[in-house]
Structure 1
Amino acid sequence: MQISIRLIPPKQRSDSTTASVTRPPALATVRISTPSPSAAMDTTVRNVAALVRSMITLSHDLGYRVVAEGVETAAAAAILAELECEEAQGYYFARPMEEEALRLWLVASPQESSVAA
């Protein structure tokens, strides 16, 4: 199983014309995704679950926010919430939908933490 990590820099100011080459750019968010993130949270896949846990902990220790992508089950969402992952997205929360369906869904959905199960 492969896990991808994307480091998302903060939005740059429009008047910024040069970038520092002496140090890496500051990061705002770390995104963690796997081909099947729900499987990554399955206790039978302990190595992957340990890796995800470690990536979240390391990101927090470095002061970054974490977004988990591809969350498909309540169990995965609950574990991510327990690990204090700031945001999550995936089919567990909602499937892709048309604009009008999205408006109705937003009105009907309770406003909660993005990883609350």
Structure 2
Amino acid sequence: MFIDEIHFDAKGLVPVIAQDAKDGTILMLAWANKEALEETVKTGRGTYFSRSRSKLWRKGEESGNIQKVSEILLDCDCDAVIYKVEQIGGIACHTGHRSCFYKTLKGNAWEENSDVLKSPDVMYANHK
């Protein structure tokens, strides 16, 4: 079975990079356990394991910004995964940016490289 080939860490997790399937933008990095990966394969929806909440996290369950997974890739060491996704709503980051990687190092300071597309207060208004 595919899941048996993945090398999970001591906590039973593997890092997952969510990448825009169309333009290749790296949208976010999260973690998945076996259950999250199996659910992603079954449903086609980006599912992760929330380390802070110790439970499955179905991307977009609170923000509405779900991920439709079109392809899953495993690296050569079998210890990292990529979900190629269509980011429904266009926002992957809980800060309201398209990507979680919205800071670029300029000299020795971080500068934002993109605008907030939607205020987190608005995005999560129905879930507080």
TM bucket normalised to smaller: under 0.3
Flag the structure with larger Rg: 1
Which has a greater percent of strand?
Answer: 2
**TM-score when normalising by structure 1:** 0.25
**TM-score when normalising by structure 2:** 0.24
